Amino acid sequence: MNYFAHITGWGTSVPANVITNADLAKIIETSDEWIRSRTGIAQRHIAEEGQSSASLGAEAALKALKVANISPHDVDLIVVSTSSPEHLFPSTASLIQDRIGATRAGAFDLSAACTGFIIAANMVAQSIRSGAIRTALVIGTETLSRLVDWEDRSTCILFGDGAGAFVLQASQEPGGVLSAVMRSDGSGGDLLTVPAGGSKLPTSYQTVKDKQHFIQMNGREVFRFATRVMAQATEDVVKKANFTLDDIDWVVPHQANQRIIETAAKRLKLPLERFVINLERYGNTSTASIPLAAVEAITDGRIQPGDRIVFVGFGAGLTWGALLAQWTGPLPAEKPKMWPYRLHGLYRLYVKLRSWGLRIVRLVEGMVWGQRDK
Ligand code: COA
């Protein structure tokens, strides 16, 4: 049987807290004019205490499931792309699985920086097309503000926090994800990196003192790399699906810098109007930026069912990639879902109680086993 992987649900979540360029100019030597003219960014959303990559990702995921009219229990797999996970382990995907009560789902994180959402969507699409799974959540979620040195004016102006999620579902109707390209060049790994906190440079007094747990970036080199690969990946993914650029309705690029997007548009000889751009209000939210932009264009009616869309990204690694999809929208419901959406607040309470219940059962079991061992 031939299966196609359709994008049938979408959702986003951003912290309410906004930091404008003028706010930044109060803490570092910069100006609204400098930031806008070099990047196109005017403001960014920054997570407050208590918000994290898992909490933002879970919110986005629940919204996406609601659009797709899918219960969390129907999800087979959750793939979370993030460069700011909650921990080295457990995976942020597992924490989101628990928060949304996706009781049947497998879950793992994928690390490919700002390209991650495209790679995650492609991997999930391939699993659906093979017949291995039917329904999956792809989530891009970041709280990069926690990895930014707020005294480094060359990086702290760029990044913001947020999350976006897609539901992908199997259907025998042609459409959905049509092609993808995934590339990497690890020789450029040092151009954009968080050097410490991993196995090479474990946390120590010295690494913290040297600020090696913060993002370090060679902005000019990353800029040069990005302008080159964005156009190339877009052309490659379109060609791979036997289309030409004229067949493409929308390009949803990684929202890093207005000038990078403009350069790519020029190289592709495409009008900027065919690009979905919202980085002015969110900054660079890394792997969340593509779904954040896409959902905005779906919600305001620019993206319509049947449209062909190229999602294209680049980032640390170095990594880059693109994915071409024919837009679908929600599939007809197999059966009406009365809950959890009608009882949203109660559902949240249920998943919390469920999670605590499982912890208590584990505790009691541990005590019983401890008694037996004596
Ligand atoms: N405000 C004011 N001046 C700033 C500044 C800021 N926020 N940040 C840097 N500057 C200064 C620099 O210190 C430098 O001053 P100098 O000439 O006296 O040394 C000057 O501005 C030019 O710096 P430069 O780094 O050459 O600027 P740029 O035009 O390359 O712009 C970036 C810097 C970071 C905006 C740009 O390189 C960029 O966007 N790169 C891509 C980054 C990216 O997208 N990363 C994420 C990839 S997923």
**pLDDT digits 0-9 by tens, 213-231:** 999 999 999 999 999 999 9
Looking at the fold, whether 306 and 348 belong to one and the same domain comes out as no
**338 in a structural domain:** no
The boundaries of the domain holding residue 238 are 4-326
Closest atom, ligand 1, to C-alpha of 24: 7
Mutate to test the pocket of ligand 1, among 34, 38, 144 (most ligand atoms within 8 A of CB): 38
- pLDDT at residue 348 is higher than 90: no
In a domain, 331, yes or no: no
**Ligand 1, closest atom to CA 314?**
48
pLDDT tens per residue across span 113-167: 999 999 999 999 999 999 999 999 999 999 999 999 999 999 999 999 999 999 9
Nearest 5°: the CA angle 61, 288, 151 is 130
**156 in active site:** no
CATH number assigned to the domain comprising residue 303: 3.40.47.10
Q: Which atom of ligand 1 is nearest to the CA of 30?
A: 1
Name the average pLDDT for the chain: 95
Residue 310 φ then ψ, to 5°: -100, 125
> What's the pLDDT at 341?
59
Same domain, 226 and 366: no
The pLDDT score that the predictor gives to residue 48 is 96
Q: Evaluate whether residue 307 is within a structural domain.
A: yes
Are residues 353 and 238 part of one domain?
Answer: no
Q: Is residue 335 part of a domain?
A: no
The SS3 assignment for 253 reads strand
- Asked if 202 and 299 sit in the same domain, the reply is yes
> Do residue 56 and residue 93 come from a single domain?
yes
Pocket of ligand 1 (CB under 6 A): 30, 34-35, 38-39, 114, 153-154, 157-158, 192, 217, 219-220, 222-223, 226, 256-257, 284, 315
pLDDT band at 345 (very low <50, low <70, confident <90, very high): confident
Q: How far is CA 17 from CA 21, 31, 48, 293, in A?
A: 14, 20, 7, 19
> 370 with 285, same domain?
no
Question: Rounded distance, CA 86 to CA 147, Å?
Answer: 12
Q: Note whether 173 and 281 are same-domain residues.
A: yes
- Decide if 114 is catalytic: yes
Contact (Cβ atoms closer than 8 angstroms) between residue 140 and residue 120: yes
Same domain, 260 and 364: no
Task: Assess whether 254 carries a catalytic annotation.
Answer: yes
Let me know whether 151 and 279 are in one domain. Answer: yes
Q: Is the peptide bond before 291 cis (omega within 30 degrees of 0)?
A: no
**Residue 154 alpha carbon, nearest atom of ligand 1:** 8
Please state the domain count of the chain: 2
pLDDT at 346: 84
Q: Are residues 238 and 363 in the same domain?
A: no
Distance in Å, CA 154 to ligand 1 centroid: 5
Which mutation among 111, 223, 258 tests ligand 1's pocket best, with the greatest number of atoms within 8 A of CB?
223
pLDDT, average across residues 33-38? 97
Give 366 or 191, the one with higher predicted confidence.
191
More confident position, 368 or 230: 230
Rg value, the chain, Cα: 21
pLDDT at position 356 over 70 = yes
Give the whole-angstrom CA distance, residue 18 versus residue 37. Answer: 20
| CA separation for the pair 152, 169 (Å, rounded) | 42
In the block, tokens 């994915």 appear at 323
Judged against a pLDDT cut of 90, whether residue 238 lies above it is answered with yes
What is the pTM assigned to this prediction? 0.95
Please indicate, yes or no, whether residues 149 and 63 belong to a single structural domain of this protein. yes
pLDDT at position 334:
65
Kindly state whether residues 115 and 187 are assigned to the same domain.
yes
Mind listing the pLDDT tens digit for each residue in 295-338?
999 999 999 999 999 999 999 999 999 999 999 888 877 665 65
